[in-house]
Amino acid sequence: MAATELDRTDRRILNLLQRDGRMTNAELAGRVNLSASACLRRVQRLEQSGVIDRYVLLVRQEAVGKPTSVFVEISLDSQSDESLDAFERAVADCPEIMECFLMAGDSDYLLRLVVADARDYERIHRQHLSRFPHVARIRSNFALRTVCRKTALVL
């Protein structure tokens, strides 16, 4: 997909909404010096073009009893389209997997999971990871602490 042309006002709108997605259109319009209707049209254009993917609420994982992030490297036994597709479908169905990346390098995939503790990870490993199709190797790394976490892209 080609990058969408963004002008200075579009970038200001996006920067503000990345910090506070619940900001009212009236407040947003005032902060970017547009009328409410002009601001709404710009936001709708950004949504329709796919620049704005979706609106979400971020939950602090420690507050809900899942303080640990685990990064899991997965190597598959085959690189066929069927193997990759089957693995990716299985990953998409596992709610504890927060992110999955197809990688270049030593492993085929990198997963980020959030878990309560080592026992919780063992459960996920037994019930999901070890049963995913075409998995040849699983290598896990537990994060000791989060140094920084960002959700806003630099525009």
The residues spanned by each domain of the chain are 8-48, 61-142
What is the DSSP-derived secondary structure letter of residue 134?
T
Residue 138 has pLDDT above 60, yes or no: yes
Give the whole-angstrom CA distance, residue 70 versus residue 121: 8
- Tell me how far CA of residue 117 lies from CA of 45, 75, 100, 107, 131, in angstroms: 43, 24, 20, 24, 20
| Residue 1, pLDDT score | 54
What strands lie across the sheet with 135-142, from one edge to the other? 97-102, 109-115, 68-76, 135-142
- Please write the tens of the pLDDT for every residue from 6-32: 999 999 999 999 999 999 999 999 999
Query: Would you give the distance in Å from CA 2 to the centre of its chain?
Result: 20
Distance in angstroms (rounded) separating the CA atoms of residues 59 and 81? 35
CATH architecture classification, 8-48: Orthogonal Bundle (1.10)
Dump pLDDT digits (tens) for 98-128.
999 999 999 999 999 999 999 999 999 999 9
- For 56-92, the pLDDT digits (tens) are 999 999 999 999 999 999 999 999 999 999 999 999 9
Per-residue pLDDT, averaged over 29-43, amounts to 98
Assign domain 61-142 to its CATH architecture. Answer: 2-Layer Sandwich (3.30)
Contact status, residue 138 vs residue 5, Cβ threshold 8 Å: no
